[in-house]
Amino acid sequence: MADGTGVQNAECDPVDAIDGWLSESAKAFSEALLSRQRLALCQTGSLELGVHRGKFLAVLARGNDTGVVVGVDAMLDAEGRDLSPEHAAEAVEHIRRNVATASLAPVHLITARTATVTPEDLLGISSNGFSFIHIDAGHEAEDVRTDIALADAVLSTGGVIAMDDFLNVWMPGVTDGLYSYRAANPDTDIVPFAAGGNKLFLCRRADHDLYAAFATTQPHGARGRMMGCELTIF
């Protein structure tokens, strides 16, 4: 059950029972951001690139009551091969059941590799774009660059992007992907404002001061700078 701030209470949270790894700090901060977007009337759609079993998608679904919730996943087996159509359909239904334990909001699932999905595909589902985008699909640098480019193209005004495994030494391609995307696109206005719980949170430069100030109102441990911007670390 959510408290008055829109943040889910820790006791008996059904999201915790869904397979996957999500720190309590990242979950709480993400839910606080979703609540802030609702209150600021800037919430549009929510998007996850790389759904796995639907753990973070469930967080997005219960935190968005104004827009569509979309998940994109290739539905691969443990060896990275495409599942058969029958097994892919079973995986999709499993994700839907998992999300339904935490939220009754409908979710739109796209079975595809994120590199094959275009901005037009996503904007055809949510014409106003997406105000919260979670990137957790392929972890090689090329995959991450492609996913950031897609997120950059569909991020709505006042939106945020959360990247999983940034600065994770076991997943160096994530960090490389972000920095190489910025190097190849020097005019991009996506900048970080917070980091913690194995995630980096970014927004448009025009929204940075608002989100950076909001981040300092949440439990945190330190302040720093990254890519020339103030950053809250939790």
Please write down the long-range contacts of 17-20, taking CB distance under 8 Å and 24 or more positions apart. Answer: 17/101, 18/53, 18/54, 18/55, 18/58, 18/98, 18/101, 18/102, 19/52, 19/53, 19/55, 19/98, 20/52, 20/53, 20/54, 20/55, 20/56
Contact in structure between 88 and 76 (CB atoms under 8 Å): no
pTM for the model: 0.93
pLDDT at res. 5: 43
pLDDT at res. 1: 41
Note whether residue 179 is domain-resident. Answer: yes
Picking from 152, 165, 131, the residue whose alpha carbon sits closest to that of residue 33 is 131
The percent of residues in the chain predicted with pLDDT above 70, rounded, is 95
Cα–Cα distance measured from residue 150 to residue 99, given in angstroms and rounded to the nearest whole number: 24
Q: How many domains does the chain have?
A: 1
pLDDT digits (tens, 9 = 90+) for 118-176: 999 999 999 999 999 999 999 999 999 999 999 999 999 999 999 999 999 999 999 99
Note whether residue 1 is domain-resident. Answer: no
Note whether residue 30 is domain-resident. Answer: yes
pLDDT at res. 78: 83
Beta bridge partners of 233: 195, 222
Is the alpha carbon torsion for 164, 166, 12, 215 positive or negative?
negative
pLDDT digits (tens, 9 = 90+) for 30-39: 999 999 999 9
Note whether residue 182 is domain-resident. Answer: yes
**Across residues 54-70, what is the average pLDDT?**
97
* Cβ burial, residue 106 (10 Å; 0-12/13-18/19+): exposed
Query: Which residues lie below 8 Å from residue 205, measured CB to CB, with a gap of 6+?
Result: 189, 190, 191, 229
Range of the domain at 156: 21-233
Strand order in the sheet with 130-135: 107-111, 69-73, 45-49, 130-135, 155-164, 199-204, 190-196, 229-233, 222-226
Cα–Cα distance measured from residue 137 to residue 157, given in angstroms and rounded to the nearest whole number: 24
CATH of the domain at 58: 3.40.50.150
Note whether residue 16 is domain-resident. Answer: no
Note whether residue 229 is domain-resident. Answer: yes
* Angle (nearest 5°) at CA 169 between 168 and 172: 85
Question: Residue 7 — pLDDT band, cuts 50, 70, 90?
Answer: very low
* Angle (nearest 5°) at CA 157 between 192 and 160: 35
Amino acid code (one letter) for 158: G
Picking from 157, 166, 160, the residue whose alpha carbon sits closest to that of residue 139 is 166
Mapped onto helix, strand or coil, the DSSP state of residue 196 is: strand
Note whether residue 207 is domain-resident. Answer: yes
Cα–Cα distance measured from residue 130 to residue 123, given in angstroms and rounded to the nearest whole number: 9
Question: Residue 195 — pLDDT band, cuts 50, 70, 90?
Answer: very high
Question: Residue 12 — pLDDT band, cuts 50, 70, 90?
Answer: confident
Note whether residue 219 is domain-resident. Answer: yes
pLDDT at res. 221: 84
**Across residues 171-182, what is the average pLDDT?**
96
Cα–Cα distance measured from residue 53 to residue 174, given in angstroms and rounded to the nearest whole number: 20
